[in-house]
Amino acid sequence: MNIKDYFKSTATEVEAVLDEILTAPQPRVANLYAAMRYSVFAGGKRLRPALFCATLSAFGVDSRPLLPFAAGLEMIHTYSLIHDDLPAMDNDDYRRGKLTCHKVFGEAEAILAGDGLLTHAFAAMMSVKSAVAADNLVKAVNDVALMAGIFGMVAGQSADIEVEGQPVDAETLEYICRCKTGALFAAAVLGAADLSGANAKQVEVLQEYSYLLGLAFQIVDDVLDIKGDAVILGKTTGSDAKNGKTTFATLLGCDAAMEYAAETAKKAISLLEIFDEKAELLRAMPIYFIERNR
């Protein structure tokens, strides 16, 4: 299966599970469910679930019984987007081509929708307990907590806020990208590796692979903010320049930034030499990520 079709099919599978998880609203909190569903089904690319499934396939593990774990990853990702769009953070009106959650449901409900998705994601991940060894599930959930939280994405967001309005050097920028973007990729990859019973060397390699993938992805994101098509992207372009934000594109220029993204993608692929041909999808991801237009 080519990588584009793979993304489509994993997206369809995980969306069916998300639909189940976020159904049966308790009548008194119908608005909370509506807000969570609004953002979850606003049309994301479902990259993290695809990365999760591709990693399972590198270990020869069937992803179907583990899809609720993948859904949990997408719920964490969506919470981060809802909170990132709030007036206290990026104050964005559009996301995934639609009005942001707080624009439709108000700030308080948007905060709760994010909180609800984050906490319920852990229940979703734990729900695969009958399909895996308990020790592996504990490791996987622990890694997701570390990578999504104060050793990963939340740390990256905080570091990003700290440098707002200041000139940023490449080293700091790289740290922020690794945490803000790479860590949630690492949550997906390590979650799958742990569930598959990966050894310490494999986990170490996959963590660095995920960070590099995140870095390459983020560099392209920065270039798309300058050169991308707002309609295809589903969000306003030019926001980094408007906010005076240093990115790899502003630091290096778009062409050099794309070269750096390509180099980073190559490095990520080369790390996978310890895996056999079952890691083909993981090898295809970095290229797909840098060739994307949305």
Which residues in this chain contact ligand GRG in the complex, by CB under 6 A? 44-45, 47, 77, 80-81, 83-84, 96, 153-154, 157, 180-181, 221
Q: Please, what is the minimum distance in Å from the beta carbon of residue 44 to ligand GRG?
A: 3
Nearest residue to 39 (alpha-carbon basis) of 91, 149, 116, 130: 116
Which amino acid, residue 258?
Answer: M
- Closer of 69 and 275 to ligand GRG (Cβ): 69
224, 233 in Cβ contact below 8 A?
A: yes
- Closer of 84 and 198 to ligand GRG (Cβ): 84
Number of separate helices (H) and strands (E) present in the chain = 16, 2
Q: Please, what is the minimum distance in Å from the beta carbon of residue 150 to ligand GRG?
A: 10
Q: Please, what is the minimum distance in Å from the beta carbon of residue 212 to ligand GRG?
A: 15
- Closer of 220 and 271 to ligand GRG (Cβ): 220
Q: Which residues contact 122 (CB under 8 A, 6 or more apart)?
A: 72, 141, 144, 145
For 69-136, the three-class secondary structure string (H helix, E strand, C coil) is HHHHHHHHHHHHHHHHHCCCCCCCCEECCEECHHHHHCHHHHHHHHHHHHHHHHHHHHCCHHHCCHHH
DSSP annotation of 247: -
- Closer of 59 and 151 to ligand GRG (Cβ): 151
- Closer of 153 and 290 to ligand GRG (Cβ): 153
Q: Please, what is the minimum distance in Å from the beta carbon of residue 115 to ligand GRG?
A: 11
- Closer of 43 and 65 to ligand GRG (Cβ): 43
Q: Please, what is the minimum distance in Å from the beta carbon of residue 265 to ligand GRG?
A: 15
How far from 275 is each of 50, 202, 209, 233, 280, CA to CA, in Å? Answer: 18, 8, 12, 34, 9
How far from 144 is each of 73, 190, 231, 252, CA to CA, in Å? Answer: 8, 8, 32, 32
Q: Please, what is the minimum distance in Å from the beta carbon of residue 46 to ligand GRG?
A: 7
Nearest residue to 220 (alpha-carbon basis) of 263, 191, 158: 263
Nearest residue to 44 (alpha-carbon basis) of 76, 69, 20: 76
Q: Please, what is the minimum distance in Å from the beta carbon of residue 253 to ligand GRG?
A: 19
- Closer of 125 and 137 to ligand GRG (Cβ): 125
**Tokens 């909190």 -> residue:** 29
| Nearest position to ligand GRG, beta carbon | 44
